[in-house]
């Protein structure tokens, strides 16, 4: 089987990620539940990963690194926690349902939500965003890179503008964390959300919400923290205030191991490796007018996704043919990004999305190209 759906989840993991999961399961108890070696071991793992994340993303403080079950939970926490009644929110048509559905769920709060449209490349330009921002705008929610189109947005430029206007900036970095440098201070990000299992190459079921200095929110979940047990309220200090219940320790440990691996291998080396694969496939697709390629050709600002269609074919059928005949896994359909497909006018066909990991090889891309040639009958 050839796996090309890394934008959904990484499949090939660094060995140290597997080792970290097993080690956490074999050595750790439940953090902050008692003071014994098993519990302390869990707490030490959490502290170690919090510190790594703080350093990697230049978070304000390790205690503002909140562990979640993934980017969806992080975004739900940020949106339900920071968007107030009658908030004026600006977001984009590129957003995933993990942003859109929480906003729809808040429709009884009399929100005013505006959706900025990108360029066809997938780039959200500051000037287009500025047209929607007004004196009442209090929250902007943007993806760092669309999971469909892969264009990386200039969130540093956007963040600087929003800081001037004192507007909260929630960033969905699901597609970029691990692949691109993200500096919360430099980019003026109020709340950064991502999962462990995509380009950090950790396990599924773990993610992070990082809050910047002075960003406070009510919790989404209430429950035990191992502290202040007789209080009817959640603790007010981070991370406990937002981490009710038992965290996914082995998943979090895997995230730490993934970050270690990225540091050792080199983030730029990972990017260079995936760029080669992207370029090889894009060059092939561009050589034949039976294909429509979506998104950007800017290699300095793109993730490892290649979105395309075969003219006149249903994307789901293409993905089925690729898997059933060639054991190649790709993603087709709507990618949980309905407004993006409305924008691209691909609601009726969907899009085939190939997304690489640096563990993929050029030989695997050759096999994909051969399979596509067979499908288009050449």
Partner 1 sequence: MNNIENSTEKSAQNLYVFVVFNGTMDAINFEECIQNNGFSGRLIPVPFEISAHCGMCWMEEIKNQSRLEEFIEKQGLSYKKIHVMEY
The contact set with partner 1 (CB under 8 A) reads 31-35, 40, 43-44, 46-47, 50, 62-63, 225-231, 235, 237-240
Non-local CB neighbours of 35 within 8 Å, separated by 6+ positions: none
314/270 Cα distance (integer angstroms): 32
Nearer to partner 1 (CB atom), residue 223 or residue 266: 223
Nearer to partner 1 (CB atom), residue 1 or residue 35: 35
**First-to-final CA distance of the chain:** 23
Nearer to partner 1 (CB atom), residue 40 or residue 160: 40
Nearer to partner 1 (CB atom), residue 182 or residue 234: 234
We find the least distance from the C-beta atom of residue 223 to partner 1, in angstroms, to be: 13
We find the least distance from the C-beta atom of residue 244 to partner 1, in angstroms, to be: 13
We find the least distance from the C-beta atom of residue 62 to partner 1, in angstroms, to be: 7
138/178 Cα distance (integer angstroms): 29
Residue 295 CA, distance from chain mean position = 18
Report the run of H or E that residue 284 belongs to, with start and end. helix 267-286
We find the least distance from the C-beta atom of residue 76 to partner 1, in angstroms, to be: 23
Q: Which of 165, 219, 158, 153 is nearest to 189 (CA)?
A: 158
We find the least distance from the C-beta atom of residue 186 to partner 1, in angstroms, to be: 24
240/219 Cα distance (integer angstroms): 10
Nearer to partner 1 (CB atom), residue 43 or residue 72: 43
Range 42-54 burial, b when 16+ CB lie within 10 A, else e: bbebbeebbebbb
With contact defined as beta carbons under 8 Å apart, do 331 and 313 qualify? no
We find the least distance from the C-beta atom of residue 49 to partner 1, in angstroms, to be: 11
44/67 Cα distance (integer angstroms): 14
Nearer to partner 1 (CB atom), residue 41 or residue 153: 41
Non-local CB neighbours of 121 within 8 Å, separated by 6+ positions: 149, 151, 295, 296, 297, 298
Q: Are strands 291-293 and 305-310 parallel, antiparallel or unpaired?
A: antiparallel
We find the least distance from the C-beta atom of residue 247 to partner 1, in angstroms, to be: 11
Nearer to partner 1 (CB atom), residue 205 or residue 226: 226
Q: Are strands 328-329 and 112-116 parallel, antiparallel or unpaired?
A: unpaired
Q: Please give the structure tokens belonging to residue 330.
A: 């790709």
Nearer to partner 1 (CB atom), residue 30 or residue 130: 30
Distances (CA, A) of 281 to 8, 71, 145, 320, 362: 19, 29, 20, 19, 9
We find the least distance from the C-beta atom of residue 54 to partner 1, in angstroms, to be: 11
């Amino acid at each position: 089987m050839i796996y090309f759906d890394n934008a959904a989840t990484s499949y090939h993991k660094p060995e140290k990620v597997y080792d970290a999961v097993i080690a956490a399961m074999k050595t750790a108890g439940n953090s902050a539940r008692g003071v014994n070696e098993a519990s302390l071991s869990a707490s030490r793992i959490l502290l170690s990963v919090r510190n790594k994340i703080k350093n990697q993303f230049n978070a304000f403080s390790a205690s503002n690194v909140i562990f979640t079950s993934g980017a969806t939970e992080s975004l739900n926490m940020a949106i339900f926690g920071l968007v107030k009644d009658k908030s004026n929110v600006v977001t984009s048509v590129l957003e995933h349902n993990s942003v859109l559905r929480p906003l729809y769920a808040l429709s009884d709060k009399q929100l005013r939500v505006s959706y900025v449209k990108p360029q066809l490349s997938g780039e959200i330009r500051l000037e287009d965003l500025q047209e929607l921002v007004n004196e009442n705008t209090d929250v902007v929610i943007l993806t760092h890179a669309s999971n469909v189109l892969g264009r990386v947005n200039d969130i540093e430029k956007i963040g600087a503008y929003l800081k001037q206007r004192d507007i909260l900036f929630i960033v969905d970095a699901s597609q970029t964390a691990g692949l691109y440098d993200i500096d919360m201070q430099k980019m003026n990000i109020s709340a950064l959300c991502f999962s462990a299992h995509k380009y950090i190459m950790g396990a599924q079921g773990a993610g992070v919400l990082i809050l910047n200095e002075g960003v406070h929110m009510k919790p989404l979940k209430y429950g035990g923290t191992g502290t202040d047990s007789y209080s009817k309220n959640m603790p007010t200090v981070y991370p406990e205030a937002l981490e009710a219940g038992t965290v996914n320790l082995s998943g979090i440990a895997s995230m730490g191991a993934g970050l270690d691996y990225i540091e050792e291998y080199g983030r730029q080396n990972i990017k260079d490796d995936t760029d080669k694969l992207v370029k090889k496939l894009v060059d092939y697709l561009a050589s034949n007018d039976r294909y429509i390629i979506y998104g950007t050709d800017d290699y300095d600002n793109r993730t490892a996704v290649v979105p395309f269609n075969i003219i006149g074919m249903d994307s789901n059928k293409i993905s089925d043919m690729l898997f059933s005949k060639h054991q190649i896994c790709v993603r087709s359909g709507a990618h949980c990004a309905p407004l993006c497909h409305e924008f691209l006018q691909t609601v009726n066909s969907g899009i085939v999305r190939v997304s690489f990991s640096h563990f993929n090889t050029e030989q695997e891309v050759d096999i994909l190209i051969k399979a596509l040639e067979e499908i288009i009958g050449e």
